[in-house]
Structure 1
Amino acid sequence: MPPAAAPGAALPGAALRGLWVDAFGPGLHTPAQVKQTVEDAARLGVNTLFVQAIRRADCLCLNASVPPVSDPELAPGFDPLAAVTAQAHARGMKVIAWVSVTGAANTAKPNTRPGHVFRTHGPAAGAASWLSRRPDGSWQEGRDAWLDPAIPGAADHMAQAVLSLVRRYPVDGVQLDRIRYPDGGAWGYDPKTLARYRAETGRPGTPAPSDPAWQAWKRQQVSFLVRRIALEAKALNPELWISAATITYQTPPADLAAFQTTRTYADVLQDWPGWMRAGWLDLNVLMNYKRDPLPEQAGWFDGWNAFARRVAVRSDGAPVAVAAGTAMYLNSPAVTAAQATRALNAGLGWVGYSYRTPTLDVYGERQSAAQGLRAVREVLRAPGGALAAPGPWTEAAPVARGLLGRITGLTVPGGQRVQAWQGGALVAEADTDANGYYGFAALPPAPLRCAWAASAGPRRCPPKGWCACRTCCCAT
């Protein structure tokens, strides 16, 4: 693996000062709320808004492939994503469309629109259900339902939802959240998922949740979804920032081998170091939600930041941007300020969660959101504070030469090994996903030949075997 950035050196994205704006309370539902949100963010001194667009397979917008949210608080005919993007851009701020990728529904507040995926492919859809399930067939995690990335229709639905935002809104990037399986490990037991696993691997029976081969296969399905979205989104807009909000549970790992023992990798099946190495992520925003008053967690915060910067490098040697996302809602303003400063001193960017709950007292309903914002602004904007000298984040998204292709017409489209050759040398190889898509990023600038092995012997990947991209991506 190429060496990481030198200790103390700033990574790309070090100028990022961000704020998550969620859709679970005031902030995005009316023109007045959006105006206030952008004004408050400007006064706070942030330069990037991570705006929740797709929440639970529905959108705080009017022009996505998924239906709008059905909240009564949403002003009729109002498009929050369009409004916040226009107003933030006018202030010199970037807007990243934040997407809960696998979110399907919350039973306490279901979307009531007829075309919503929970109605068409939910628990009552029988064999057409796209939900992730436990071995006993249950699908609820608390009150939430999750889509299974190993089900072909679900994977395509999730990819198209993100891509519709890229096509129809002038956002500066997309952030993939809930790009994983639910906590607990025992998920992915829909009959269609099990049938795919058996067909692709040749393994009979029903695997145990702890079966390493089963875990690795499901982890691969999550990674395939990241790959598909990243490569296709970059083909639509090479200047787009591809980001993920990533898991940092408990004790930080010392190295990649230790990472594979963490809950991030082994429980929720998220391999974000691999996504950075493959060139699918331009920006990794750690959900490093720790509480400094607990000494153990203060160490965890710094340890995860240190690990992330050590592995923030693509296979071609280019560094990847990393930002520490902090839990403002779990901490006092003083702790938020301290964590933001430590992140910046480590050469990372910073993103706070969240606009709606900027302090522990707001989260505990002992303080209004306006009071919390004022309190956190005072410490972040104080001399020497993380936002003392606000400025724009003008850095351009990195350009990576990549290829996205698809094999069609096979009985088993997933799990086909595809190789990329340049000048007689094998430069990369990857397996196809549930829909037959394969792809590579961070490729050297030379003509590329793809080949795949099927029962009839090696063949060129359809529809064309050579790619001489001069821009960011080419999709075959």
Structure 2
Amino acid sequence: PAAADYTVSVLLRLIARYDLDGLQLDYIRYPSARFGYNPVSLQRFLQATGRGDRPAANDPQWMQWRRDQVTKLVKRIYLNMLAQKPAMELSVAAIAWGEGPPNGDWKASSPYTRTLQDWATWLDDGYVDWVAPMMYSRESDSTQRGWYDGWLNWIKAHPRRDAIAVGVGSWLNDSGGNMAQLRRATDDGALLGASLYSYSIPATGDRIAFFDRVRGELWSDGAPAPTLPSKTAASTGFVLGRLTGSGAALSNATLRLQGPGGTTRYVSSDGSGVWGDVGLAPGDWSATASDPRTNTERTVPFSVAAGRVSHVTLEVAAAVVEPWTPAQPDRAFGELWNRTDLAVAGRATQRSWMWGPKSFGTGSESYRESPGGRRVVQYWDKSRMEVSNPAANRSELWFVTNGLLTKELISGKWQVGAREFQQQAPSLTPVAGDPAGGTPAPSYAAFAAVASLDGDRRAEPRAGAAVVNTIDGAGNAGANDSFRRYNVVNAEYNAELGHNIPNVFRGYLGALPLPWVFVMGYPITEAYWTQATVAGQTRDVLVQMYERRVLTYTPSNPAAFRVEMGNVGQHYYRWRYNAAPWEK
């Protein structure tokens, strides 16, 4: 799964940074059916099938499982590309070795059996826009000429022939041989077109003469890029989602999609829990999956628009709700608030709240090292105050701590002791913006793939670099240079967990009335641009997750309130106790 994640991230970076019309995937296959036995892949296969043996290279179930992994990667690339740039085209340089499909049987063809590349299905199901079969054959060799014609005949009989551009290996032939193959491919206009592959040389013999013939006899007016109806007049839409259970990606899980007119479709998640589908009728849809532990189904609704990708996050493990146990507050809570937020309440300073105007709950929670196994906590809009050891030195800054709430919300792990946790489902609450906004920001769960929860996923130092990283509602990270317009750059690199801090946040941290690490914890992600509904309006928002809190930067806010802390205390309380006392 990590290899697929990396591949997608590299391509998304290209899409975001360059003005591309399309991507063509080459070598999106196995070298041969003998490959794919790396320990991770093999273990995933055994878990998915319940088998305990090492399958032979030609084992049908093992071959199909590997074939499916390639198909899921292609679909994932396609949907992520469309999500960023709907007009872009995805094509594949596809295997077409040897003779064409024997007796027209695709499942007996060389790409399907030898390299596990099911490109005909990609074309039929709409996971790519067009295909360039690499029919590289010598016209002067009667056997190879037969291979070329065998593939050509199969392609011209294919229902999606208008999305196939024959790949001619021009370096293998002289001018006459290349022209003969090009004419046979384009004579009836049934195909999308033809392409030439030059391997060191464009043709044997007189190259100039070959190009003169191409121009004079075939493409005298040039060869304009084809227009695809799916791009110019899209009638269907797409969905891209992620499936998790108790905070972990659910791989090879089946999801049921239901849409207009009683339509029902089934899709399967990949090794990272990513799933998606194409060709969806516009309208209201739903996605349903089962908790593998209880078989309890969970359904989430989503809407589809023609030519657009809808993002869906589906968490099938329902969170366990802990009963709230009221308790008397420790006096240190009020002292800490007076030290930090009293000036805000009295308008003696122009900054946003560190805690909030008023606590909405004081109680006790499980914590093994505290007296009686419980510690006193107090919840505020922005965080939670805690006294884990009431016998400690009250004059010390860390006598009252504020919890690692952001980490818990992302990971789904309640901390119930210094080294003890209870696994729950990560929070699906948006990290910023209006609670019921029209354009919700990514949820805490969506940051799991980019957050340093165990000292992992460290970033490279990029002090001085413009902050252009992006993240969408499904947790897909990318980059968009248009965000340079906000002049946000990385100010420093924090080496503790390995993340850059932007200038807009570094200045805010330095102005806090207490040491910023005490307040925030260390950053656990890079800063990401996203969109959220703020005060009823869709706005650009920069978010960065810290161990204890979340910082947001909204350029359209008044200057004194462009940087704010997210309402992590509210989000955590609702997630843990399924209640919202601040709304009463």
The reply to whether TM is greater than 0.5 is yes
Shift of 1:170: 1.1
Residues 433-465 of structure 1 show CA distances to partners (whole Å, capped at 9, x for unaligned) of: 01111111112223211112333335346xx43
Counterpart code for 1:351: S
Distance 1:236 1:306 in 2: 37
**Matched-pair contact (CA < 8 Å) for 1:199–1:412:** no
Counterpart code for 2:305: C
Distance 1:320 1:390 in 2: 19
- Residue 112 (structure 1) aligns with: none
Shift of 1:375: 2.6
The structure with the larger Rg is 2
Q: What does 1:3-18 correspond to in 2, within 5 Å?
A: none
Counterpart code for 1:259: W
- Taking structure 2 as the reference length, what is the TM-score of the superposition? 0.49
Distance 1:353 1:172 in 2: 20
Distance 1:169 1:397 in 2: 24
- Residue 579 (structure 2) aligns with: none
> Is 1:388 aligned to residue 220 of structure 2?
yes
**Which of 149, 154, 160 is the aligned partner of 2:3?**
154
**Matched-pair contact (CA < 8 Å) for 2:99–2:147:** yes
Q: What does 1:354-373 correspond to in 2, within 5 Å?
A: 354=198, 356-361=200-205, 372=207
Shift of 1:177: 0.6
Distance 2:47 2:258 in 1: 28
- Residue 131 (structure 2) aligns with: 284
Shift of 1:282: 0.8
**Which of 305, 309, 322 is the aligned partner of 2:152?**
305
Q: What does 1:201-240 correspond to in 2, within 5 Å?
A: 201-240=49-88
Residues 30-74 of structure 1 show CA distances to partners (whole Å, capped at 9, x for unaligned) of: xxxxxxxxxxxxxxxxxxxxxxxxxxxxxxxxxxxxxxxxxxxxx
Q: What does 1:91-130 correspond to in 2, within 5 Å?
A: none
Residues 73-105 of structure 1 show CA distances to partners (whole Å, capped at 9, x for unaligned) of: xxxxxxxxxxxxxxxxxxxxxxxxxxxxxxxxx
- Residue 180 (structure 1) aligns with: 29
Counterpart code for 1:241: E
Counterpart code for 1:181: Y
**Which of 144, 147, 163 is the aligned partner of 2:12?**
163
- Residue 173 (structure 2) aligns with: 331
> Is 1:197 aligned to residue 31 of structure 2?
no
Shift of 1:201: 1.4
For the aligned residue pairs, the C-alpha RMSD in angstroms reads: 2.1
**Matched-pair contact (CA < 8 Å) for 1:273–1:311:** no
- Taking structure 1 as the reference length, what is the TM-score of the superposition? 0.60
Q: Which has the higher strand share?
A: 2
Change (3 A) 1:199 1:271: same
Residues 405-454 of structure 1 show CA distances to partners (whole Å, capped at 9, x for unaligned) of: 11124656211011211147343212110111111111222321111233
Distance 1:179 1:335 in 2: 29
Residues 88-132 of structure 1 show CA distances to partners (whole Å, capped at 9, x for unaligned) of: xxxxxxxxxxxxxxxxxxxxxxxxxxxxxxxxxxxxxxxxxxxxx
Residues 147-203 of structure 1 show CA distances to partners (whole Å, capped at 9, x for unaligned) of: xxxxx11011111112222111111110111000013x1111111111111111111
Residues 247-280 of structure 1 show CA distances to partners (whole Å, capped at 9, x for unaligned) of: 1111112666x21112210110000111012111
Q: Moved runs in structure 1, 4+ residues, more than 6 A?
A: none
Shift of 1:470: 3.7
**Which of 78, 86, 96 is the aligned partner of 1:248?**
96
Secondary structure, in 3 states, of the residue corresponding to 2:37? coil
Counterpart code for 2:169: A
Q: Which runs of 5 or more residues in structure 1 are unaligned?
A: 1-151, 314-318, 362-370
> Is 1:429 aligned to residue 273 of structure 2?
no
Percent of pairs with identical residues? 30
Change (3 A) 1:444 1:254: farther
Shift of 1:309: 3.9
Q: Which has the higher contact order (CA 8 A, sep 6+)?
A: 1
Counterpart code for 1:321: A
Counterpart code for 2:168: T
Change (3 A) 1:156 1:215: same
Secondary structure, in 3 states, of the residue corresponding to 2:164? strand
- Residue 324 (structure 2) aligns with: none
- Residue 561 (structure 2) aligns with: none
Secondary structure, in 3 states, of the residue corresponding to 1:360? coil
**Matched-pair contact (CA < 8 Å) for 2:238–2:276:** yes
Distance 1:155 1:245 in 2: 19
Distance 2:83 2:302 in 1: 17
Change (3 A) 1:397 1:162: farther
- Residue 459 (structure 1) aligns with: 297
Shift of 1:340: 1.2
Distance 1:249 1:437 in 2: 31
**Matched-pair contact (CA < 8 Å) for 1:231–1:402:** yes
- Residue 108 (structure 2) aligns with: 261
- Residue 338 (structure 2) aligns with: none
**Matched-pair contact (CA < 8 Å) for 1:239–1:396:** no
Distance 1:381 1:471 in 2: 36
Secondary structure, in 3 states, of the residue corresponding to 2:224? coil
- Residue 141 (structure 2) aligns with: 294
The worse-fitting range, judged by mean Cα deviation, of 350-359 and 414-423 is 350-359
Secondary structure, in 3 states, of the residue corresponding to 2:290? strand
**Which of 243, 266, 278 is the aligned partner of 1:441?**
278
